[in-house]
Structure 1
Amino acid sequence: MGKKVLNEQLNTQNDATYQMIDITKIYPNPFQPRHIFDKDRLEELAKSIKKSGIYQPLILRQPIAALERYEIIAGERRYRASMLAGLEQIPAIIRNFSDEATMEAAIIENLQREDLSPLEEAEAYQAMIKELNLTQAQVSERLGKSRPYIANYLRLLGLPTGVKLMLQEGRISMGQARTLLAIKQPQALEKLAQRTVEEGLTVRQLEEIVTKFNLDKDREAAQKQKRKNKSPFIRELENQLGERFGTRALVVAKSKQKGKIEINYDSIQELDRILDVLNISLD
């Protein structure tokens, strides 16, 4: 079902029943992608409803079998505000929707009419893929959005829980979250996300930090691989040199007969200590 078809179904009253429904018989849509409703905006809408009533009826799903339970297809904000306003009945258009159409309508209605948070939008796309057995390309086609756009949002679901909360609360932006995803270590990612919030890092600054972090990690991985490929004799020699000098030592073999020994130091004080071990004085 495409966006155009859904729009027609949501905005026409053909084959639909318009009536007043008891608010106690109305239930939120389980496929509703929005999880957070702004309290202040709901209270403003409730005041407006108290004063002027509801101008646009809700769209509800026809109850299945004998269940007197109407699921919301469109208009959950109006429903919540009506409850705050103390209404007992709400004007609604009743439609006979399948599970698939109900889900898709709820998602599209929210994407078109309200600003979902990045995570809510990502979860909406994931729900369409999982519940409707769609591919990213099919979701893209149905919603009229590019496939990279859908893919970028879905990647946000791979963020650690703590970073998702930062994004949900608006402490980091969509651009910052996408940049952080380039870091594959969850703990390092969370640490940098917290630093981003504390220091107010821009996306450009964050990109530079992430690039350097990944380059350093690549070097470390390459060094570990080189060490892994070394003979047991060389690795044992490096261990003994490291213990002797209290720092990292490398034995680099250039051929069977030649090579070099590298002893690393991170400060002048550490260099002085190494020289003392070698009984070398520069005085």
Structure 2
Amino acid sequence: MSDDLSRKRLGRGLAALIGEMDKPAQPNAATPRIGADNKVPIEFVGPNPRNPRRHFGETELADLAQSIREHGVVQPVVVRTVDNGRYEIIAGERRWRASQLAGLTEVPVIIREVDDRVALEIAIIENVQRADLNAVEEALGYQQLIDEHNYTQADLGQVIGKSRSHVANTLRLLKLPSEIRDMLVDGSLSAGHARTLVTAEDPAGLAHRIVEEGLSVRQAEALAQQPLQIQQTRSGVSSSAPAPKDADTVALEKMLSDVTGLRVTITHGQRGGELKIGYKTLDQLDEMCRRLQQ
């Protein structure tokens, strides 16, 4: 019965849920008198070790830290109490991390008393609906709810506001080799590209071809349905893996990556080559354009 009530409550959508969480708690016997204007020492607050989000972009954190220095933390961090008078983050770990970068000694919090299960559900749902997770983290979060709380794919779709097919397709990414999942995490591959690789005979080889040749999702889908020899063919040469790069090329890639702060790849061919610079955010693209214009 409690399971049904929890899912119905969460199924109302994150906006309603976070809206309730962002309101100062009404004081009662079980809830401390703390609201949006109250602050606690930042060292008393810690992350939820089971939060599905593992990657926080350095550029985004730096930008948020600068904003916090100028305007403060606009939206409090939602926490719950744990042992020894400390607090565990339910929602707002990025704000907490950026506050540390900004040099804050205190952080505004709202305390909510919830159990382990609800804290995990909120962490996953908040990150998914705010698009803060990469595709692998999203898939692992879904799988965690399925394994630990007996959610069905239909349950997940209803709770997070996604279609059942979206949930199913996202979970399929966990079948990919770790090499491809790493490419998803670092932004080399999009989730759309990765989904086409699930049924490919040589997913790793095709993944490298997608990155090197800049193939669209539609082109990748067409190749994934072809025989292995066609999937592996590049510029008329059949190979199951990208050609090894010489030490000079690798060193040049590293040097350019260090200078730009972005992922740089260099590919040589019979008729020249390609220099590719990958970016994850529009701010990174703007910064690169500014440098090129100078």
- Fold match by TM threshold 0.5: yes
Contact 1:62 1:70 in 2 (8 A): yes
Which residue of 2 is the match for residue 144 of structure 1? 161
Which residue of 2 is the match for residue 46 of structure 1? 65
TM-score (normalizing by structure 1): 0.69
Once the two structures are TM-superposed, the CA of residue 173 in structure 1 deviates from its matched residue by 1.8
**CA radius of gyration, larger in:** 1
| Amino acid in the other structure paired with 1:11 | D
**2:162 alignment partner, SS class:** coil
Which residue of 1 is the match for residue 107 of structure 2? 90
Partners of 1:7 and 1:79 lie apart in 2 by 17
Partners of 1:207 and 1:46 lie apart in 2 by 40
Which residue of 2 is the match for residue 115 of structure 1? 132
TM-score (normalizing by structure 2): 0.66
- Which range moves more in the overlay, 90-99 or 118-127? 118-127
Which residue of 1 is the match for residue 18 of structure 2? 7
Contact 1:59 1:93 in 2 (8 A): yes
Task: Count residues in correspondence.
Answer: 212
**2:84 alignment partner, SS class:** coil
Partners of 1:127 and 1:9 lie apart in 2 by 25
Which residue of 2 is the match for residue 62 of structure 1? 81
Partners of 1:193 and 1:54 lie apart in 2 by 41
Which stretches in structure 2 are left out of the alignment for 5+ residues?
Answer: 1-5, 231-294
Contact 2:79 2:91 in 1 (8 A): yes
Which stretches in structure 1 are left out of the alignment for 5+ residues?
Answer: 217-283
| Amino acid in the other structure paired with 2:17 | L
Partners of 2:106 and 2:169 lie apart in 1 by 41
Partners of 1:171 and 1:182 lie apart in 2 by 19
Which residue of 2 is the match for residue 274 of structure 1? none
Once the two structures are TM-superposed, the CA of residue 13 in structure 1 deviates from its matched residue by 2.4
Partners of 1:98 and 1:124 lie apart in 2 by 18
Contact 1:3 1:108 in 2 (8 A): no
Which residue of 1 is the match for residue 226 of structure 2? 212
- Pairs within 5 Å for 1:1-283: 1=6, 2-4=10-12, 6-15=17-26, 17-18=34-35, 19-63=38-82, 66-183=83-200, 185=201, 188-213=202-227
| Amino acid in the other structure paired with 1:10 | M
Q: Which consecutive segments of 4 or more residues in structure 1 shift more than 6 A?
A: none
Partners of 2:56 and 2:46 lie apart in 1 by 16
Partners of 1:172 and 1:113 lie apart in 2 by 20
Contact 1:3 1:143 in 2 (8 A): yes
Once the two structures are TM-superposed, the CA of residue 6 in structure 1 deviates from its matched residue by 3.0
Once the two structures are TM-superposed, the CA of residue 75 in structure 1 deviates from its matched residue by 0.9
**2:223 alignment partner, SS class:** helix
The percentage of counterpart residues that share the same residue type is: 44
Partners of 1:129 and 1:6 lie apart in 2 by 21
Once the two structures are TM-superposed, the CA of residue 35 in structure 1 deviates from its matched residue by 1.2
Partners of 1:208 and 1:52 lie apart in 2 by 50
**1:90 alignment partner, SS class:** strand
**1:31 alignment partner, SS class:** coil
Partners of 1:196 and 1:70 lie apart in 2 by 44
Once the two structures are TM-superposed, the CA of residue 114 in structure 1 deviates from its matched residue by 4.1
